[in-house]
Amino acid sequence: MSASMPHEDGIDHTISLMREGYLYILNRRRSFNCDVFETRLLGMKAICMGGKEAAEIFYDPEKFQREGAAPHRLVETLFGKKGIQTLDGEHHRRRKEMFMALMSPTNIKELADLVKEEWISAAKKWEQMNEVIFYEEVQKILSTAACRWAGVTVPEDEIKNLPNDLEALFESPAALGPDHWKGRNARNRVEKWVGELINQVRDGKETPPENTALHRFSWFREFDGTLLDTETAAVEVINILRPIVAISIFLNFTLLSLHHYPEEKEKLKVQDDKYAKMFVQEVRRYYPFFPFVSAKVRKGFVWNDFTFEEGTLTYLDLYGTNHDPKIWENPDVFNPERFADWEGSPFGFIPQGGGDYLLGHRCAGEWLTIEVMKVSLDLLVNRMNYEIPDQDLSYSMVSIPSIPHSKIIIKNIKLLD
Ligand code: HEM
């Protein structure tokens, strides 16, 4: 390792990471006055980095690989074994094409329409209720819409549990003890019945529509012409269902931002689609969600005089890049206007990863996320009235993922025509 790379002294800094959460890398980039530094995390030497130039090298497939980079606890909960997140090169590209084939404008609109339909039907029930917990209700909506969109028929005895199980997959990776095991158990349960469903499709007993994830992933073939093994196909179908339910986190922050910035809500009532998109982009930039992503140095290289040794685990700071003062003016101010004439860098704005969709690991569901957020924003701004009573709306910068502590209680809900 080059002597000139700033280096955090000490045996291990996992505790500092747990204490400082989303700000861990950013704090050190500031104190070292450098976008890259070396440390030790989870008992291993690691490089942390952030900013536009760092993202550019991180997403260079010649320099970094994903195989062997994801911590075990993430694979056991969030990702699943042998999923796309751990692939490299041609195998990754072929698998990514399978995902991106689902992301046509027509298909994306179909999911947005399903979300709207489920939302309106749920809101009719909310009108009769004293109050509802927005985070939980939205997860039910997204879980039902995701299964319908993916062509997945949920077994009777799983319907009630499914939103909780999918939530546990993205809430448990950083958790300790029972909360972590909840995620592992949920993964085993969901993988089992989704796997059975895939076998039924292959046996001709289930016939999901052709443009659905269940159909496409059941019949996807590797380079050698073989189908994916059942477990891997199930992992990839869950790679569609789980993150759609995770949009609930962004939706909670959307609701929170409307509450904290009422003038924005008034603007949204009279503005067009462009402003709605700017608002959604700012929610994705401003609030904490995915803190960082990891990869391993594929082949040693030198960047800005710093030596990256082969095999070194490297973390790219997503949150910190979205709050980098070299990229964003007043990064800690919520301001949708900043996206009015934003030039659209794939490395400076990376809430769902950066770089290229097919050649790299950038989130396959980013366009889908934006459209689901836009349709939900319209429902919150133009299609319903509600009140937000006094409650603890603060959120942690340490818990990963983070949501407002009360999960946002809303009451006196009224659907508008
Ligand atoms: C809820 C909001 C979402 C966030 C914050 C998010 C974030 C991310 C991040 C940070 C990555 C990793 C990027 C990297 O490794 O460089 C990723 C990858 C991925 N996301 Fe998302 N995502 C979201 C929604 C979705 C949705 C809705 C889908 C699909 C329906 C989806 C499917 C995927 C897939 C398949 C990958 C793996 C891509 C690859 O390895 O090539 N995500 N996402």
**CATH number of the domain encompassing residue 208:** 1.10.630.10
**Considering only CA atoms, which residue is closest to atom 17 of ligand 1?**
363
Domain ranges, residue 150: 14-415
**Paired tokens of 203:** 């046996």
Tell me the backbone φ, ψ of residue 73, rounded to 5 degrees: -65, -25
> Quick one: pLDDT at residue 199?
98
Cα 171 to ligand 1 centroid, rounded to whole Å:
15
**Binning pLDDT at 50, 70 and 90, where does residue 272 land?**
confident
> Quick one: pLDDT at residue 343?
83
Cα 106 to ligand 1 centroid, rounded to whole Å:
20
**Considering only CA atoms, which residue is closest to atom 9 of ligand 1?**
352
Cβ(316) to ligand 1 under 6 A? Answer: no
User: Does pLDDT of 180 surpass 90?
Assistant: no
Cα 125 to ligand 1 centroid, rounded to whole Å:
32
> Quick one: pLDDT at residue 251?
98
Mean pLDDT of all residues in 339-364 = 95
Mean pLDDT of all residues in 63-68 = 96
> Quick one: pLDDT at residue 330?
98
Q: Which atom of ligand 1 is nearest to the CA of 369?
A: 27
**Paired tokens of 230:** 């059942």
> Quick one: pLDDT at residue 3?
53
**Considering only CA atoms, which residue is closest to atom 40 of ligand 1?**
85
**Considering only CA atoms, which residue is closest to atom 26 of ligand 1?**
365
Cα 11 to ligand 1 centroid, rounded to whole Å:
32
**Paired tokens of 3:** 């002597």
% of the chain with per-residue pLDDT over 70: 99
Torsion of CA 259, 264, 269, 274, to 10 degrees: -130
Mean pLDDT of all residues in 122-132 = 97
Residue 152 lies in a domain: yes
Residue 48 lies in a domain: yes
**Paired tokens of 329:** 């003016």
**Binning pLDDT at 50, 70 and 90, where does residue 79 land?**
confident
Residue 2 lies in a domain: no
Give the total number of structural domains in the chain: 1
Mean pLDDT of all residues in 290-295 = 96
Cα 158 to ligand 1 centroid, rounded to whole Å:
25
Cβ(243) to ligand 1 under 6 A? Answer: yes
Cα 362 to ligand 1 centroid, rounded to whole Å:
7
Residue 3 lies in a domain: no
> Quick one: pLDDT at residue 137?
98
Cα 87 to ligand 1 centroid, rounded to whole Å:
14
Cβ(217) to ligand 1 under 6 A? Answer: no
Q: Which atom of ligand 1 is nearest to the CA of 59?
A: 16
User: Does pLDDT of 2 surpass 60?
Assistant: no
User: Does pLDDT of 397 surpass 80?
Assistant: yes
Helices (H), 172-288: 177-202, 213-219, 230-260, 262-270, 273-286
Residue 172 lies in a domain: yes
Q: Which atom of ligand 1 is nearest to the CA of 361?
A: 41
Cβ(247) to ligand 1 under 6 A? Answer: yes
Q: Which of 130-134, 271-275, 283-287 has the lowest mean pLDDT?
A: 271-275
Mean pLDDT of all residues in 120-142 = 97
Q: Which atom of ligand 1 is nearest to the CA of 295?
A: 15
User: Does pLDDT of 297 surpass 70?
Assistant: yes
Cβ(83) to ligand 1 under 6 A? Answer: no
With H, G, I as helix, E, B as strand and everything else as coil, classify residue 313. Answer: strand
Helix axes 366-378, 230-260, angle to 10 degrees: 40
Q: Which atom of ligand 1 is nearest to the CA of 99?
A: 35
Residue 25 lies in a domain: yes
User: Does pLDDT of 203 surpass 80?
Assistant: yes
Mean pLDDT of all residues in 329-358 = 96
Residue 30 lies in a domain: yes
Ligand 1, from 217, 352, 368, 402: best to mutate by most atoms within 8 Å of Cβ?
Answer: 352
> Quick one: pLDDT at residue 23?
97
Cβ(289) to ligand 1 under 6 A? Answer: yes
Q: Highest mean pLDDT: which of 71-75, 157-161, 204-208?
A: 204-208
**Considering only CA atoms, which residue is closest to atom 1 of ligand 1?**
247
Cα 282 to ligand 1 centroid, rounded to whole Å:
18
- Distance, in Å, from the CA atom of 194 to the CA atom of 267, rounded to the nearest integer, reads 43
- List CB contacts of 229: < 8 A, sequence separation 6 or more: 82
Residue 235 lies in a domain: yes
User: Does pLDDT of 176 surpass 80?
Assistant: no
> Quick one: pLDDT at residue 24?
97
Average pLDDT, the chain: 95
**Binning pLDDT at 50, 70 and 90, where does residue 255 land?**
very high
Residue with tokens 């790219």: 316
> Quick one: pLDDT at residue 325?
96
> Quick one: pLDDT at residue 48?
98
Q: H or E stretch including 219?
A: helix 213-219
Mean pLDDT of all residues in 236-246 = 97
% of the chain with per-residue pLDDT over 90: 88
- Distance, in Å, from the CA atom of 308 to the CA atom of 38, rounded to the nearest integer, reads 10
